[in-house]
Structure formats: structure tokens, C-alpha cells
């Protein structure tokens, strides 16, 4: 996968198949994963594509993973705060 960063250079997305997706209990999404080296957060939404969020600090992934109300954490700290795009999930959850 290649995606433009706007600076004329292409940024490679981490292959979703290499990202360990962890099942979570949330109303709007069912699994999350994180690629540490490239700081990408992956969220598998219910009945929707996987979104990849760029430049997400590791503490935001940890916060989402450990939040008692994951939907609220996502809406407050992730949604509309990081660039995102749809990606294909290589293997079903």
C-alpha cells in the first residue's frame, strides 16, 4: 500500500496482515491494532472498513485499549485528530 503524504513523498502503510488486531468491547468498533515502528493505529469498525490513523502516539493506543468506555475515548482523543484512510484487512477477525 502506498499513500501520499502531501509532500510529494509516498508513505508506506504497515501491512494490516502484520498488525495484531485485538478484539475489544465497544459499540462502534470490534478490534484495534497498532504498528509501533510507523505509529499507525488500526480500528476495525462494525460493518465498515478498517481505518488506519497516522502518527498516533503509542500512549493513545494504550489509552484506547485500556479505556472503560472505548467509544468515548475514540471520540475524544482519536476521531478527527489524526489523518485516516480505509485499508483492507487481509484476514478476517
Show the beta-strand stretches assigned E in the chain: 2-4, 10-12, 22-23, 29-35, 40-45, 50-53, 84-87
Q: Where are the domains of the chain?
A: 2-83
Q: Distance between CA 51 and CA 10 in Å, rounded? A: 18
Q: Which tens digit of pLDDT belongs to each residue from 8-27? A: 444 556 666 689 999 999 99
Q: Distance between CA 21 and CA 73 in Å, rounded? A: 18
CB–CB of 40/56 below 8 Å? yes
Q: Which tens digit of pLDDT belongs to each residue from 50-91? A: 999 999 999 999 999 999 999 999 999 999 999 999 998 765
Amino acid at each position: 500500500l502506498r499513500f501520499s503524504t502531501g509532500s510529494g513523498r509516498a508513505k508506506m502503510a504497515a501491512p494490516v496482515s502484520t498488525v495484531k488486531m485485538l478484539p475489544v468491547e465497544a459499540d462502534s468498533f470490534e478490534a484495534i491494532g497498532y504498528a509501533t515502528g510507523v505509529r499507525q493505529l488500526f480500528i476495525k469498525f462494525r460493518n465498515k472498513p478498517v481505518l488506519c490513523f497516522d502518527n498516533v502516539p503509542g500512549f493513545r493506543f494504550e489509552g484506547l485499549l485500556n479505556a472503560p468506555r472505548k467509544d468515548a475515548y475514540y471520540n475524544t482523543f482519536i476521531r478527527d485528530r489524526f489523518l485516516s484512510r480505509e485499508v483492507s484487512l487481509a484476514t478476517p477477525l
